[in-house]
Amino acid sequence: MSDSTAAYDEVNRRIAAAAVAASRDPSQITLVAVTKTHGPEIIQPLLKAGHRVYGENRVQEAQGKWPDLKRRYADIELHLIGPLQSNKAREAVSLFDVIESVDREKIARVLAGEMARQDRWPELLVQVNTGLEAQKAGIAPDEAKAFVQHLRYDLHLNIRGLMCIPPFDQPPISHFQQLAGLAQELALPVISMGMSNDFEQAIACGATHVRVGSALFGART
Ligand SMILES: *Cc1c(COP(=O)(O)O)cnc(C)c1O
């Protein structure tokens, strides 16, 4: 068994344990395997093990490795988890199945136009900047509700959920709770939060999707 498959089994075991500890059904939690910086040879063992949900944070990098893999495994679900520029919206809509980083009106409008043009409808999540960090993307929490309603009712976008990346230097729990509360208020089914260092806490707070990279593939260089 290769290293990455052993790590994969271990992450799955920890996800299931965290779900059970929170009286949740483990099958309600999806592992998004974050493959940024890693080549197909690292991804292949997970594909062979049957894993189908992956995350990349850059459109251009994803274009270099995923079109081939998606041709070979038709049921791959590829998530864009990093910031999206308008000039990459066309490529993003054609390659990704879920775009987790909708974070401003302009990109929402450009995506709406591209999705109609291509007749391809990736699921969309709104990124919330729970820590109000200047360097981080995302809608401020107190604007999230109006933003989601605007996207739904004015732009006719099917927003499926929320995503956040808490500040690195703070305990994540209050951020996870805030995101879960917002999702509940907006009746959004998808809550993407939790990374290698904190996915168990995110599951305790209601995450439906955890985005895990280094715990699966080792530290990135
Ligand atoms: C890289 C990345 C992750 C995975 O981070 P790890 O700490 O390696 O698990 C999750 N979410 C986003 C948005 C990322 O960019």
Q: pLDDT category, 1, cuts 50, 70, 90?
A: very low
Predicted local confidence at residue 126, as pLDDT: 98
Its sign, for the CA torsion 131, 132, 138, 142, is: positive
The set of residues, in sequence order, having a beta carbon less than 8 Å from that of 138 and lying 6+ positions away, is 103, 127, 128, 129, 130, 164, 165
Q: Which atom of ligand 1 is nearest to the CA of 36?
A: 1
Q: Which atom of ligand 1 is nearest to the CA of 57?
A: 15
Compute CA distances 163 → 40, 119, 158, 182, 210, whole Å: 26, 25, 15, 11, 10
Cα 82 to ligand 1 centroid, rounded to whole Å: 9
Cα 167 to ligand 1 centroid, rounded to whole Å: 12
Q: What's the pTM?
A: 0.97
Q: pLDDT category, 221, cuts 50, 70, 90?
A: confident
Q: Which atom of ligand 1 is nearest to the CA of 34?
A: 4
Cα 213 to ligand 1 centroid, rounded to whole Å: 6
Q: pLDDT category, 104, cuts 50, 70, 90?
A: very high
196-213 residue pLDDT tens = 999 999 999 999 999 999
Percentage of residues of the chain with pLDDT beyond 90: 96
Cα 117 to ligand 1 centroid, rounded to whole Å: 31
27-81 residue pLDDT tens = 999 999 999 999 999 999 999 999 999 999 999 999 999 999 999 999 999 999 9
Cα 220 to ligand 1 centroid, rounded to whole Å: 10
Q: What residues line ligand 1, using a CB cutoff of 6 Å?
A: 34, 36, 57, 81-82, 165, 195-197, 211-215
Give nearest CA residue, ligand 1 atom 5. Answer: 213
The set of residues, in sequence order, having a beta carbon less than 8 Å from that of 70 and lying 6+ positions away, is 76, 78, 95
